[in-house]
Structure 1
Amino acid sequence: MPLRVGYVREHFSTPLLQFQEADQNETFSLVECPSGTGQLISRLTKDEIDVAIALTDPLISGIANGSTAYKLCGSYVSTPLNWAVITGKNTKYNAISDLKGTPIGISRLGSGSQTMAYVMAQQQGWPTEELQFKLNNDIHGLIDSVNDGSTSAFMWEWFTTKPFVDAGEARFIGSVLTPWPSWLIAAHPSPSRAHPDALRTFMTSLSGYVREFDSAANRAGPNLEVIKAKFGYPDADIEAWLKTVKYPEDCLVIPSKVITDTLSVLEKAGVVKAPEGGFLAENFVDQQVVNLT
């Protein structure tokens, strides 16, 4: 059976989409999850996908908080994610500091939009236990919520939200970079759903497309045309994003420091609580698949 791979259709997924277009043996199928990592984790839990390419922080916090629906099995993007802080077009909020004590929109519980709100609160010195959240499913629901006043702001990836801001539907009031590499790959631990051999084969092939996309030759021009054709972003936005993003040489490698450093930040933000003796990075990965360095 082909692996069912969940993903979010945005510019980061370009190497994955190129892999699928070339996959003549149909070794995997893509399942789009527009609501983001919370939806990806939910679909892993419900046996709707076998593999998820998702945001680092919700994946790690999910395991830390007891999820057994997946283990980490690889890396996807090695640079931080730039989270835009977005408010409505006519609201009174003009800076992140204005948001203290107000309801923040999130896509789903456990999503990156929620964990990054905790990180933002930590950076601002706000009590994280006082954060208020309102679920709004996806970026369209989130934009509606900041414009109808039911939330003050939400957080989403910068370039994905920029077209809505350019169209006058919302406003940027700040941004927060993740203190960790932005994307990892997770899979259900059952061999009947994601066999280690199939996972290694998938990840090895994906690594080739990632390296090709990340090459100097493709960064010099072809990547811009591919992303423009797939997503319709303006040239200037694509060029700006390409200057900020890097992919791993080998998707089958996860530095243990990524896991431990992310857990340290999430613990300080109140998202996870360490067990007695602390967290062990090896408990977060499928050791039959990934190389933990």
Structure 2
Amino acid sequence: MTLRIGYVREHFSSPLLQFADEDSGKTFTLVECPSGTGQLISRLTNDEIDVAIALTDPLISGIAKGSTAYKLVGSYVTTPLNWAVITGKNSKYNSIADLHNTTMGVSRLGSGSQTMAYVMALQQGWPTGDLQFKINNDIRGLVDSVNDDTTSAFMWEWFTTKPFRDAGEVRFIGSVPTPWPSWLIAAHPVRASSDALKRFLSKLTTYVRAFDSEENRKTANVEFIKYRFGYPEEDITAWLKTVGYPDDCAAIPTIVIKETLSVLEKAGFITAPEGGFDVQQFVNTEIVKLT
């Protein structure tokens, strides 16, 4: 079968894009999801994709809230994601503390932009039950919302949004790194066959390892990202110093699932069932190796 792989077109996707260039649609096709993980989960649910490479927290919280559209099958990025806290160029907000009791912009409900707002509130000691959100669909809608004052701020990955800051469209007033490794891989439990998934994850691992090599980080990675995304070389070099990839894309550390659930529960974003969560319910045990 040809897998439909949903992804977000960001610099993190570089190893996947290199794989896709060589595969040329023989074993999988890429489906871009510019609105982020909320859109990826929606497309998994609506039979528009079979596999999603998406943010850890929305994937795990979606299953915790009862979604049966996917199970976790692997890891993609092992380091935290640095979320910039972003406001309008002329807004009155100058620090994270100023955002208390305001309306935050999010791409979709259940997205990383929403779950991280709960994490930020937890860190600030704000009552998470009082959080208010406005859905703005994509990065363009989010930027517009902080400049027309319909939202106070939004959260998005630092380097992805830095060009908007550099162009003077927005301001950064803080950042909140994720307290977990940032990207996992999920797949529909029926549509994505075990054999096709195992082949995909095995081959993806070779591209991830190559991208993660010290030699490629110095030269080839910089040129690829510069060509594909147009980022300044200094930003690419700075990002490459912060990002890490797994040795095996078909493995997930058990502690990643447990600790993500713990933080999201403390933040008030999910509620554990009586007796707590069972990690086995979050993964496709035919595919993934829990370590």
* Runs of 4+ off more than 3 Å: none
2:34 corresponding residue in structure 1: 34
How many angstroms apart in 1 are the aligned matches of 2:239 and 2:279?
A: 30
Query: Equivalences for 1:98-113 in 2 at 5 Å?
Result: 98-113=98-113
Q: Deviations over 1:28-67 (max 9, x none)?
A: 0000000000000000000000000000000000000000
How many angstroms apart in 1 are the aligned matches of 2:184 and 2:3?
A: 17
DSSP-derived class of the 1:257 partner? helix
How many angstroms apart in 1 are the aligned matches of 2:215 and 2:159?
A: 23
2:230 corresponding residue in structure 1: 232
Unaligned runs of 5+ in 1: none
Q: Deviations over 1:90-112 (max 9, x none)?
A: 00100000000000000000000
How many angstroms apart in 2 are the aligned matches of 1:186 and 1:21?
A: 22
DSSP-derived class of the 2:20 partner? helix
Question: Counterpart amino acid of 1:30?
Answer: L
- How many residues align structurally? 291
1:7 corresponding residue in structure 2: 7
DSSP-derived class of the 1:185 partner? strand
* TM-score (ref. length: structure 2): 0.99
Offset at residue 282 of structure 1 (A): 1.1
DSSP-derived class of the 1:87 partner? strand
DSSP-derived class of the 1:244 partner? coil
Note if 1:247 corresponds to 2:245.
yes
How many angstroms apart in 1 are the aligned matches of 2:177 and 2:279?
A: 23
How many angstroms apart in 2 are the aligned matches of 1:233 and 1:92?
A: 29
Question: Counterpart amino acid of 1:15?
Answer: P
Note if 1:95 corresponds to 2:95.
yes
How many angstroms apart in 1 are the aligned matches of 2:268 and 2:201?
A: 33
2:194 corresponding residue in structure 1: 196
Note if 1:179 corresponds to 2:176.
no
How many angstroms apart in 2 are the aligned matches of 1:162 and 1:219?
A: 21
Offset at residue 24 of structure 1 (A): 4.6
Distance 1:140-1:25 versus aligned 2 partners, 3 A rule = closer
2:254 corresponding residue in structure 1: 256
1:165 corresponding residue in structure 2: 165
Query: Percent identity, aligned pairs only?
Result: 74
Question: Counterpart amino acid of 2:110?
Answer: G
Query: Equivalences for 1:145-160 in 2 at 5 Å?
Result: 145-160=145-160
2:115 corresponding residue in structure 1: 115
Unaligned runs of 5+ in 2: none
1:130 corresponding residue in structure 2: 130
